[in-house]
């Protein structure tokens, strides 16, 4: 099918296998050895411009930020390539795979993908953010080269969510790819249910789907060993089954009771494991390990979020998955680094906007302790029947693939779909929300559903989710900071029994840009910090708010809503390179347990002013007491006061270098922060004053 002018290097699977070569289940990396060319499969067959790439890969890492010229192939506001790309890989199939089942698994490709093996079309997957697989078994030549061809399309399509959104839609095979080798009799799905959990005991049930691709019937058994967070076995369960060839069945293990469970929470993210062994005539033919957590929760309209019986103030952020220099093609170690940065700030919640994210992200949230709202990419607007069908498929894939993650507590259905549509479009939107909510409840009644809207405009759309998520930006796009608290109180008065969640609030901030006298929406760190202080104060004073997530944790690619840096939405608490802005340390001072101090601001070290002018110096800290020193002299030691507290000192700076040192104390622990400020007298103002 594809021209072999550029032949990919055959890969040695067993060197990168996640299990030993003789294991009953193998998961073999397919990230190395690919060739890529822009264009369709048909175009690729004629091309000599193949380049060697490895996964994760995106073709929009650079052109998504090029604003010099809009090329001919783009539409609307898209200044980057949205179209077709073709990948190919040679697979050297092993003779050891004879009698085995082999599938190719892609963790994500944006957003419509077609796959061939040895010129045989295997099928198409529609959706850019969940995993999908195809069976290679009938098409592989053992002890010979096999050609795998993948065509990916990230262009706009009316039947595929999202139609448009405030983020760049990077094309490519942008997540990991795998070969999964199993016995024809294998476990295809595993779900762990925890229907009853308390401080005293927990009920655990396992639901599986067993697939028999043998031609003859199989009489087998499924055995499970449950292990605690310490790795010690806590119980066993088993079930027998008979399964006809070429079919699948559900095999469930029910009723295991675990006494005195170690509960999962952001403070103590305890994880249990169930080890499953599928047996045929007493021989193990497949094995799976699945981690899970034990917790219970609810959102209360009066008390906010309740986890394991106690109120927990939800303090969170939104997170997009792209990163400078990578686009969407972010390696797992950097996904985890993002979650570590969020956790280090003291957050306990993350909304994965606006799509299902990499498995590595969910694993990190489970392990480090971050509650999760995960959603499908129904953003800004909706389509008709085909669009609705695709959205439902996306929801099903998200829930089934991420069902076992204890970090997930909310399934998101849509974002800002009530805007300026015609009446008919409003009907489609409400109707789709109703159907998505019903499907989510069918697939997973244990979690709550949510939607995020900017306005409801006289519809009953909020009747079709458990949580009302509101995206509000007082003091950025409209009104002033004080309007936010007034708006919250008005919502509470109108519907006191509704669970209100502030799913977005934020301000565009250019790291390192400061002004003495900032103004609304000027992109200064100064205004942005004032924005976040006012919003968090309003949220902190209203314990009945179900939760809140800052928009956004990191700056992200956006051709639609760039700030004063082309192609970047700058509402992050850290920039596109993950360098924290002042507001990161503000939230750390409000949320983190570990003692910290930060002199405001490390990105504003060159300052100007008049002779004798009084300046206000500020420290962000979660200490019980903070003392600030200027050029070796104490400006005073302050102790924390009840309620809202700011650490502020008024003083004069000398011309030249000023040395600042902040010392924070808490429970006998001491930390300090140091900063040098170069202060220059404003000569123009001096001359004007002399006149």
List all residues 6 or more positions away from 491 whose beta carbon is below 8 Å from its beta carbon: 470, 498, 500
CB atoms under 10 Å from CB of 579, counted, come to 15
Intra-chain end-to-end CA distance of the chain, in Å = 83
Pairing of strands 120-126, 112-117: antiparallel
Report the C-alpha dihedral over residues 61, 371, 431, 455, rounded to 10 degrees.
-80
In CATH, the number for domain 13-182 is 2.60.120.260
Residue 400 CA to its chain's centroid (Å): 17
Rounded Cα distance, 151 and 115, in Å? 6
The pLDDT of residue 424 is 58
The pLDDT of residue 78 is 54
Residue 76 tokens, joined: 């609307």
Rounded Cα distance, 371 and 410, in Å? 9
Rounded Cα distance, 155 and 40, in Å? 12
Residues of the chain with CATH 2.60.120.260: 13-182
Q: Give yes or no for a cis peptide into 162 (omega within 30° of 0).
A: yes
> Could you say which architecture CATH assigns to the domain 185-292?
Sandwich (2.60)
Q: Are 494 and 503 in contact (CB under 8 A)?
A: no
| Three-state DSSP state, 394 | helix
Strand-pair partners of 155 = none
The pLDDT of residue 67 is 59
The pLDDT of residue 247 is 97
Residue 593 CA to its chain's centroid (Å): 23
The pLDDT of residue 350 is 98
pTM over 0.85: yes
Residue 144 CA to its chain's centroid (Å): 40
Q: Are 87 and 36 in contact (CB under 8 A)?
A: yes
The pLDDT of residue 32 is 97
Rounded Cα distance, 111 and 27, in Å? 24
The pLDDT of residue 2 is 52
The pLDDT of residue 73 is 42
Residues of the chain with CATH 2.60.40.10: 185-292, 606-690
Residue 433, φ and ψ in degrees, nearest 5: -60, -45
Element (H, E) at 615: strand 614-621
Written as one string, the DSSP assignment of 251-273 is EEEEEEEEES---B-SS-B--EE
Strand-pair partners of 364 = none
Burial class (CB in 10 A: 0-12, 13-18, 19+), 240: exposed
Q: Are 627 and 662 in contact (CB under 8 A)?
A: yes
Tell which residue, 450, 554, 574, has the closest CA to residue 167.
Answer: 554
What single-letter DSSP state applies at residue 518?
-
Q: Are 615 and 650 in contact (CB under 8 A)?
A: yes
> Annotated catalytic, 559?
no
At the fourth CATH level, the homologous superfamily of domain 606-690 is: Immunoglobulins (2.60.40.10)
Residue showing tokens 């706009």: 156
Rounded Cα distance, 505 and 473, in Å? 5
Report the C-alpha dihedral over residues 236, 242, 246, 248, rounded to 10 degrees.
-50
Residue 224 tokens, joined: 């499970």
Considering 151, 375, 416, 627, which one is annotated as catalytic?
416
Residue 207 tokens, joined: 């639901």
Residue 261 tokens, joined: 């469970």
Tell which residue, 544, 644, 519, has the closest CA to residue 590.
Answer: 644
Contacts of the segment 92-95: beta carbons below 8 A, 24+ positions apart: 92/10, 92/11, 92/12, 92/13, 92/144, 92/145, 92/146, 93/140, 93/141, 93/142, 93/143, 93/144, 93/146, 94/13, 94/14, 94/142, 94/143, 95/142, 95/143
pLDDT along the chain (691 residues), means of 10: 36 32 82 97 93 98 71 52 97 93 98 97 97 97 93 96 93 98 97 97 97 95 96 94 96 90 98 97 95 98 97 97 97 98 98 97 98 97 93 98 98 88 68 97 98 85 95 95 95 94 97 94 96 97 96 92 82 98 98 98 95 94 98 98 93 97 97 97 53 31
The pLDDT of residue 683 is 65
Q: Are 111 and 154 in contact (CB under 8 A)?
A: yes
The pLDDT of residue 504 is 98
């Amino acid at each position: 099918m594809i021209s072999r002018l550029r032949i990919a290097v055959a890969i040695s699977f067993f060197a990168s296998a996640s299990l030993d070569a003789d294991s009953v289940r193998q998961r073999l990396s397919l990230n190395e050895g690919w060739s890529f060319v822009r264009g369709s499969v048909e175009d690729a067959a004629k091309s000599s411009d193949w380049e060697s790439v490895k996964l994760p890969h995106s073709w929009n890492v650079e052109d998504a930020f090029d604003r010099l010229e809009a090329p001919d192939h783009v539409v609307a506001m898209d200044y980057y390539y949205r179209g077709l790309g073709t990948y190919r890989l040679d697979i050297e199939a092993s003779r050891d795979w004879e009698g085995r089942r082999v599938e190719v698994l892609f963790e994500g490709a944006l957003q419509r993908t077609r796959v061939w093996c040895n010129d045989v079309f295997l099928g198409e997957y529609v959706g850019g953010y969940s995993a999908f697989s195809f069976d290679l078994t009938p098409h592989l030549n053992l002890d010979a080269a096999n050609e795998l061809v993948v065509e990916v399309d990230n262009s706009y399509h009316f039947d595929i969510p999202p139609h448009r959104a405030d983020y760049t839609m990077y094309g490519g095979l942008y997540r990991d790819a795998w070969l999964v080798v199993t016995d024809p009799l294998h476990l295809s799905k595993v779900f762990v249910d925890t229907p009853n959990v308390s401080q005293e005991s927990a009920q655990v049930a396992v639901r599986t789907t067993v697939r028999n691709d043998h031609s003859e019937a199989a009489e087998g058994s499924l055995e499970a060993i449950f292990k605690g967070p310490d790795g010690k076995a806590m119980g066993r369960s088993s079930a027998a089954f008979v399964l006809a060839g070429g079919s699948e069945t559900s095999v469930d293990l029910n009723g295991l009771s675990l006494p005195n469970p170690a509960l999962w929470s952001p403070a103590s993210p305890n994880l249990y494991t169930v080890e499953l062994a599928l047996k045929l005539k007493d021989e193990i033919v497949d094995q799976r390990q699945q981690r899970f957590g034990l917790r219970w929760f609810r959102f209360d309209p009066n008390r906010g979020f309740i986890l394991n019986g106690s109120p927990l103030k939800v303090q969170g952020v939104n997170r997009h998955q792209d990163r400078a220099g990578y686009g969407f093609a972010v390696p797992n170690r950097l996904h985890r680094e993002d979650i570590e940065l969020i956790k280090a700030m003291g957050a306990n919640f993350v909304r994965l906007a606006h799509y299902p994210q990499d498995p590595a992200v969910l694993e990190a949230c489970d392990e480090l302790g971050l509650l999760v709202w995960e959603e499908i990419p129904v953003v800004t607007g909706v389509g008709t029947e085909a669009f609705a069908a695709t959205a439902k498929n996306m929801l099903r894939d998200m829930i089934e693939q991420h069902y076992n993650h204890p970090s997930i507590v909310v399934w998101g259905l849509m974002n800002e779909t009530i805007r300026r549509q015609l009446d008919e479009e409003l009907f489609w939107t409400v109707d789709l929300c109703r159907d998505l909510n019903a499907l989510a409840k069918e697939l997973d009644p244990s979690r709550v559903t949510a939607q995020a809207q900017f306005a409801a405009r006289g519809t009953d759309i909020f009747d079709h989710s458990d949580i009302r998520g509101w995206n509000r930006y007082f003091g950025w796009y409209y009104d002033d900071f004080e309007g936010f608290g007034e708006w919250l109180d008005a919502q509470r008065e109108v519907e006191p029994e509704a669970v209100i969640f502030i799913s977005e609030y934020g301000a565009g901030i250019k790291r390192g840009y400061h002004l003495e006298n900032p103004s609304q929406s000027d992109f200064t760190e100064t205004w942005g910090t004032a924005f976040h202080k006012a919003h968090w104060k309003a949220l902190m004073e209203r314990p009945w708010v179900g939760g809140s997530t800052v928009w956004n944790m990191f700056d992200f690619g956006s051709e639609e809503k760039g700030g004063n840096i082309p192609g970047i939405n700058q509402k992050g608490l850290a920039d596109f390179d993950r360098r924290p802005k002042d507001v990161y340390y503000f939230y750390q001072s409000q949320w983190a347990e570990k003692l910290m101090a930060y002199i405001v601001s490390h990105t504003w070290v060159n300052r100007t002013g008049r002779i004798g002018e009084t300046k206000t110096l500020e420290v962000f800290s979660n200490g019980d007491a903070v003392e600030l020193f200027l050029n070796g002299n104490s400006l005073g030691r302050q102790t924390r006061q009840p309620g809202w507290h700011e650490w502020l000192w008024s003083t004069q700076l000398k011309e030249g270098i000023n040395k600042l040192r902040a010392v924070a104390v808490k429970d006998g622990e001491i930390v300090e922060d140091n900063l040098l400020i170069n202060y220059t007298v404003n000569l123009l103002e001096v001359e004007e004053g002399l006149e």
